[in-house]
Chain A
Amino acid sequence: MASDRPVREAENRLERFNTDRERLLAEVERRVVARVVASSKPGTDQSLEYVLNDVAFNEIRRLEASKSKNGALDRWRDLSRRLLAMSEAEKESELRELVRFYGKDVVGNFDPRVYKFATGIGPSILGALFSPMTSFKEGLAALGNLDARIQPDGEIDLARACAERGTLIVTPTHSSNMDSPAIGFGLLRAHLPPTTYGAGKNLFTNPFISFFMRNLGAYRVDRRLRFELYKDVLKEYSTVLLEHGYHSLFFPGGTRNRSNIIEKHLKLGLLGTSVTAYKNLVREGMPNKRLYIVPATINYRLVLEAETLIDDYLAETGKSRFIITDDEFSRVGRMVEFFRKILAHEGSVIVRFGRPYDPFGNDITDDGESIDRAGRIVDPASFVRGANGEVSDDDQRDAEYTRALGRRLAGVYPRLTVFHSTHLLARVIYDELCRRGHTRDIYKLLRLAQGECTVPVADAIAGVDRLRARIAATPAYGAEHPGYVQQSSQDKVADAVKGLSTFHTRTIVERTGDNLRVGDIKLLYYYQNRTAHIPEEGHA
């Protein structure tokens, strides 16, 4: 089914999104309200009173802790006060209002004009926007082909065919807030349809990115809202989108990967909506409207927010900092640097797509049919059917299916990883520091590395050579950047040094005579972490 023909039905279903929006929201409202009301038991944790109070309590607590209250507190205090005197009908009415309120907060928008702009002349103009006026020509030259710096590869033909047959759920690794535009352009360049996706509400604070996200189908996920009703609305919205055939994108790792180690433990919340959506389609007599989960990795030569992320990862207190709002992404100057320096490098971002799975973690054939581990075609609808063929509801079963899918994704990510020169050199130097320090523990290394750390260039080249050979011999480790497989290890080291010494505010590695000097072990660790699944030399 490999083909370079244009995507037909799958081509940009988001164009009909604005027409559908009210209908989708109404469906979300109807389902969530019906479910909550049906499961409510007065006097228990499932009573309407409890659900409403949970919302009010969490909103009050959140607003009291925030700097800008804007009078919003009154609304929730008022709800809290009125709750006790409310009749069941009034509670249901309040519930309906809240579901609508959060639904509208979540829902996205798709403006075809913005899409055309962003995917057509957009990159050039966007480049100009991001370039300081004093270096307009330089910026335009570097960014004129912004999207050309993002190279998609892997199982693109199969993903395209799946997009024609069913609905895609793209599930990439997550390193940076640049991932959304990066995968957006990756999909575009792969002639795959655009997807809708949930983006943290904090991302909408960047005015440039916010403009595009708002108008290209992104819906807002407010991670500060942790009460069940909000999660219900969010999940139902995702479910309804999938049922209506909107290609979607989830980052199963949840937030950005702080350490840069390929994600092993996935957060499966929204991913689980794929099982629910498919179950609903089967129940509605449409088992052949298939859903396909497409694993993908986004591989940057350099990561915009590396400094903040690794500091956050290593800081003892940082582990609880779930939402970072003051990183490089929020500083326009750093983003300009990112576009000018990082994306000016040919193929600086590789988006690699893997073979899709069905929602139960089964492989699929080239024709999009689900197959079991023995390679036999299996009917995916049977996974949600009971003994007599009826569609059965079982949240625990569905969660287990999603865990199985998550295991498949976590298992395939290393294989889909693409190594840039920066990763390879960082790994080789880090291995050398570990050998000298007799430990791989970053904290111990940070304590040990008081003096100057240098590695002879010749040793680094030899180490990169050996690492490349090991990677080439073991596809499960991932692969080198396809555009630079023929590059000599000497050139690769030089290229890596250029990257690791120029962009970040802290020099990671620089050349001093015949040696490479390590300037920042934390960042070295961050970049080498991309290879963390590759065992040490001699320990395979």
Chain B
Amino acid sequence: MSRADTVGIVGAGRFGTALGSVLARAGRRVLIWSRDADVVRAIESERACPRLPEAPLPAPLDATGDPKRLATEARLLVMAVSSTNVRDRARELGEHLDGSHIVVHAVGALSSPNNSPRSSASADSLHFGRVSEVLQEGLPTLKIGVIAGPALPADLVLGEYSSMVVASAFDEVVAESRRLLNAPPVLRVYGSKDLAGVELASALVGAYTVALGLCDGLGMGIGPRAVLITRAVAEASRLGAAGGAQPRTFAGLAGLGNLLVRATERSADYQLGRRLAEGIVTADNQRTEGARAAIAGAELAKQLRVRTPVLTGVAAVLAGKAEPRDTASLLGDSVATEE
């Protein structure tokens, strides 16, 4: 299969492996790059990834420890690494890419606005440490996008129906991603131009998952839970709109869709919320993606002067500035009078 028809996946974690599995089973050529030689060996010889052993990895899928090979054999690359590794992997990979590559990341994270690498570089787009901005700093290509949505690795492996949305300012990124990542009926990929919105929604979902864990841990009923979800989507939409994103993006796959599937015991963010409800406050509290997103999101809201009671509440609990039990403020905006 040609370079144009090969999907490169950066990272052999749970999502990268599951995505590779779905695509390989759909007959697509996949090349996974992992820096872990044992993982590469396991995929190549045992057709299984230690991080998601239940995922079948049929032959069209290969693994490599060589980023140059990845760049040579695939034009479309999916960056599926943790947020803490994005910058380093981008720099490493950037040595081998050029302006023709397309890079789509699947990292639902947000860093503090103060850490945004190019916070003053652009006058017309939202800058709050979006992963695409980090990638722009490390990669030579400008063709960058994001993929997000309620597609859990376990569901992908089991062949459950899943959908995701891919967003980019470049139509070509969306079109190529849809052409190569769409694998119905298991994985359907929709398109969007709202790169900032999808990135923000995807990242804030982690923060709201913490809030839902907290809510469930406190034993609140399904009514308050529904209010929390609705208010979370509303405030995320306000925050996004203030920053130039499309408000409706937050009610889509990357926002609401993602939130509905994350609030389970499998999620580290959800577990964190439950621990907080039990009064367990440790230094590890701020180490999940959702916790980081809550703090960064609350800071962004302050800068943009947008009221975000849920985000602000979660950030305050995480920082030890509010009692976990005193979470009524999460459920709504006492100042607002209209929905």
Within 8 A of A (CB), among B303-338: none
| Chain A residues near B3 (CB-CB < 8 A) | 387-388
B136 CB within 8 Å of chain A: yes
Separation of A360 and B140 alpha carbons in the complex (Å): 11
A129 CB within 8 Å of chain B: no
Total contacts A-B at CB 8 Å: 78
Chain A residues within 8 Å of chain B by Cβ, number? 31
| Chain A residues near B121 (CB-CB < 8 A) | 407, 411
State whether A396 touches B172 (Cβ < 8 A).
yes
Known: A394-B172, A396-B171. A387 touches B75 (CB 8 A): yes
Q: Looking across the interface, which residue of chain A has its beta carbon closest to that of B176?
A: A387
Within 8 A of B (CB), among A347-405: 360-361, 372-374, 376, 378-389, 394, 396-397, 400-401, 403-404
B98 CB within 8 Å of chain A: yes
State whether B123 touches A373 (Cβ < 8 A).
no
State whether A476 touches B120 (Cβ < 8 A).
yes
State whether B124 touches A265 (Cβ < 8 A).
yes
- Chain A 260-272 interface mask (CB, 8 Å, partner B; 1/0): 0000110000000
Separation of A379 and B137 alpha carbons in the complex (Å): 17
| Chain B residues near A140 (CB-CB < 8 A) | none
B197 CB within 8 Å of chain A: no
Separation of A32 and B71 alpha carbons in the complex (Å): 37
State whether A376 touches B2 (Cβ < 8 A).
no
Separation of A384 and B100 alpha carbons in the complex (Å): 7
B91 CB within 8 Å of chain A: yes
Separation of A407 and B169 alpha carbons in the complex (Å): 14
Q: How far is the CB of B74 from chain A (nearest CB, A)?
A: 9
Separation of A264 and B122 alpha carbons in the complex (Å): 9
Known: A387-B75, A411-B123. A360 touches B170 (CB 8 A): no
Q: How far is the CB of B168 from chain A (nearest CB, A)?
A: 9
Separation of A384 and B142 alpha carbons in the complex (Å): 11
| Chain A residues near B94 (CB-CB < 8 A) | 372, 374, 376
Interface centre among A372, A383, A384, A476 (most CB of B within 10 A): A372
Separation of A87 and B17 alpha carbons in the complex (Å): 60
B223 CB within 8 Å of chain A: no
Chain B residues within 8 Å of chain A by Cβ, number? 28
B172 CB contact (under 8 Å) in A264, A265, A382, A397: A397
Separation of A264 and B125 alpha carbons in the complex (Å): 12
B65 CB within 8 Å of chain A: no
- Chain B 182-198 interface mask (CB, 8 Å, partner A; 1/0): 00000000000000000
State whether A374 touches B170 (Cβ < 8 A).
no
A397 CB contact (under 8 Å) in B91, B95, B136, B171: B171
Q: How far is the CB of B118 from chain A (nearest CB, A)?
A: 8
B138 CB within 8 Å of chain A: yes
Q: Looking across the interface, which residue of chain B has its beta carbon closest to that of A533?
A: B123
State whether B98 touches A378 (Cβ < 8 A).
yes
| Chain A residues near B136 (CB-CB < 8 A) | 373
B4 CB within 8 Å of chain A: yes
B137 CB contact (under 8 Å) in A360, A374, A410, A476: A374
Separation of A401 and B170 alpha carbons in the complex (Å): 9
Interface centre among A265, A360, A389, A397 (most CB of B within 10 A): A397
| Chain A residues near B91 (CB-CB < 8 A) | 374
B79 CB within 8 Å of chain A: no
Q: How far is the CB of B264 from chain A (nearest CB, A)?
A: 38
Q: How far is the CB of B176 from chain A (nearest CB, A)?
A: 9
| Chain B residues near A411 (CB-CB < 8 A) | 120-123
Separation of A54 and B146 alpha carbons in the complex (Å): 40
State whether A407 touches B124 (Cβ < 8 A).
yes
| Chain B residues near A407 (CB-CB < 8 A) | 121-125
State whether A383 touches B120 (Cβ < 8 A).
no
B99 CB contact (under 8 Å) in A378, A388, A476: A378
Within 8 A of A (CB), among B96-152: 98-100, 120-125, 136-143
State whether B138 touches A374 (Cβ < 8 A).
yes
| Chain A residues near B120 (CB-CB < 8 A) | 411, 476
Separation of A396 and B171 alpha carbons in the complex (Å): 7
| Chain A residues near B137 (CB-CB < 8 A) | 373-374
| Chain B residues near A410 (CB-CB < 8 A) | 123
State whether A382 touches B142 (Cβ < 8 A).
no
B142 CB contact (under 8 Å) in A381, A388, A404: A404
Separation of A80 and B149 alpha carbons in the complex (Å): 53
Q: How far is the CB of A372 from chain B (nearest CB, A)?
A: 4
State whether A383 touches B169 (Cβ < 8 A).
no
State whether B140 touches A378 (Cβ < 8 A).
yes
- Chain A 475-513 interface mask (CB, 8 Å, partner B; 1/0): 010000000000000000000000000000000000000
Extra inter-chain contacts (4) besides given A265-B124, A397-B170, CB under 8 Å: A372-B140, A373-B137, A376-B94, A403-B169
Question: 26 A-B residue contacts at CB 8 Å?
Answer: A264-B123, A360-B99, A360-B142, A372-B94, A372-B140, A373-B138, A374-B91, A374-B138, A376-B94, A379-B99, A383-B142, A386-B75, A387-B2, A387-B4, A387-B100, A388-B2, A389-B100, A394-B172, A396-B171, A397-B170, A400-B142, A400-B170, A401-B142, A403-B169, A411-B121, A411-B122
Across chains A and B, which 9 residue pairs bring their CB atoms closest together, nearest first? A387-B4, A383-B99, A382-B98, A372-B140, A382-B99, A387-B75, A378-B140, A396-B171, A385-B100
